[in-house]
Structure 1
C-alpha cells in the first residue's frame, strides 16, 4: 500500500479553528450565516489549499518517476540535463533520464550497452573483433552455419565458448551464415574495435497526462537521430577501444532509414 499524505480541506481547518474560539453568545461560531463563521470559512479555505499543495509535494514531487514541478531541482542535483541531448526533451523523457541516472550501475558488458540504448529508445546489437590467430583460425572461409541453438557458441574462437553471431551482432539462426569471426590478417589493434549496429531510431509520440508532452510546445512526433546514442556510448566505452556505428541495418519502413 502506498504511503499517502493525510489531506485536510479548508472545511477541516475551519471547524478546528472555530472550536478554538471562546464560548458564548458573542461568538456565534455554529451559525453558518454569521459574520464570524463566514470570516473563519474564508480565511481557513486558504490553509486547505496550502495543505493540498504540501500533499502534492510529498506524494508526487518527492518521487523522481512522476515529479514535474521540482523536476529542474532533481536534474540540477543529479547533473542533468545530459549534454549529449541537444534537442529539447519532453517531461517524460526527462523523468526517465533522471531515474536512469539515479539507478544506473555501471558495467562494460555487451548487454549493459544494449540496455542503455534501449532506455533512450534505440535497438542495437554489438559485434566485437579480434585479429587472426594461428592455431585458432584457418585460412579460407572460416564462417559457420547455425545449428539451431540460440545462442550458438564455439570453443575455438577468441576464448572458450565465445558466442557466434551474424553480421548484425545477433545470435546466428538455424542455417544462417555467421559473421567473419575476425578482421582477417591485420594489426593486433583490431581487438580494440567494436561495432554498434543501430536497428531502430527513437520515435517520440505526443502523449497527454503525467509524463507526457506539453500542448503547444512538444510536436506530434519527434524522430530522434542517434547523436545522443553515439555521445553516450563514446563517453562510457572502455577508454582503450573505438566504436564503429553501423546504420545499414535500419528497416526500410523506418522514417529515418539510411540517415546516420
Structure 2
C-alpha cells in the first residue's frame, strides 16, 4: 500500500499537540508549511516499498551495483555497454551457477543468461562404427563440442524494464560465448554455430 502526501499530512497533524496554536484546517499557515515536507515522505515511502522488488536480483535497479560488486561484475563478458536487462541476467546466472560440465548444466546456464541453446558432442570413429550417415572424426574430436544457438540473439527495448538511454534493439551473442568459454572444461574445445 502506498501513502500519498495528503495521507502523511493528515497523520502528522493527528499527532500534533492540541490547542489554539496548533490549527489543523487545510488553509492554515501551519498546514501549508507542513505540506511542503510531505512530498518527501511520500517519495521515501515509495522507495521503501520498492526495496522488496529491488532486493531480488532479477528485478533490481538501484541495488544492481551491489549485486555486481559481490560477484565481481561487470567483467569482460558483459561487453562494452550492456543493457540493464543483460546486467541482471548475468547477475542471476552467476548467482544460480552451481558449476558442472554436463550438457544440462550449460543449457541451463545459457537460459539464465537469456539464450536458448543446444549442444552437440562428437565422437571419434571406431572399428564397430557404421559411418553411413555420420562423418568420420579423428580421435581429437572426443574433446570437441558445439554450442548451437539462434543466428543472432536480439534483445528488444522493453518499456517496463529498459532505461531511456538504452538502444531499441541489440544484437549479438558475445556474452554467451564469453561465459561458456570461461566455464568449459579445460581439456575441451568449444565452438559456436548460429542459425
Tell whether the structures are fold-level matches, with TM greater than 0.5: yes
Match of 1:143 among 127, 131, 134: 131
Is 1:41 aligned with 2:25? Answer: no
Is 1:107 aligned with 2:100? Answer: yes
Shift of the 105–37 alpha-carbon distance from structure 1 to 2, 3 Å rule, reads same
Shift of the 53–197 alpha-carbon distance from structure 1 to 2, 3 Å rule, reads closer
Shift of the 39–239 alpha-carbon distance from structure 1 to 2, 3 Å rule, reads same
Distance 1:125 1:99 in 2: 20
- Name the TM-score, length of structure 2 as normaliser: 0.81
What residue in structure 2 maps to residue 220 of structure 1?
A: 168
Question: What is the aligned-residue RMSD (CA, Å)?
Answer: 2.6
How far did residue 204 of structure 1 move?
A: 1.8
Q: Which has the higher helix share?
A: 2
Larger radius of gyration: 1
What runs of 5+ residues in structure 1 fail to find an aligned partner?
A: 1-5, 145-176, 251-260
How far did residue 68 of structure 1 move?
A: 1.4
Deviations 1:25-57 (A, max 9, x none): 23322x22222232233333432332222222x
Native 8 Å contact 1:193 1:242 kept in 2? yes
Q: Specify the SS of the correspondent of 1:204.
A: strand
What residue in structure 1 maps to residue 145 of structure 2?
A: 194
Deviations 1:142-198 (A, max 9, x none): 135xxxxxxxxxxxxxxxxxxxxxxxxxxxxxxxx4x33x51xx44x4422223344
1:151-162 equivalent positions in 2, closer than 5 A: none
Tell me how many residue pairs correspond in the alignment.
Answer: 195
What residue in structure 2 maps to residue 50 of structure 1?
A: 44
Shift of the 75–23 alpha-carbon distance from structure 1 to 2, 3 Å rule, reads same
What residue in structure 2 maps to residue 230 of structure 1?
A: 177
What runs of 5+ residues in structure 2 fail to find an aligned partner?
A: none
Distance 1:23 1:231 in 2: 67
Shift of the 15–241 alpha-carbon distance from structure 1 to 2, 3 Å rule, reads same
Shift of the 27–97 alpha-carbon distance from structure 1 to 2, 3 Å rule, reads same
Is 1:63 aligned with 2:56? Answer: yes
Distance 1:11 1:63 in 2: 31
- Name the TM-score, length of structure 1 as normaliser: 0.64
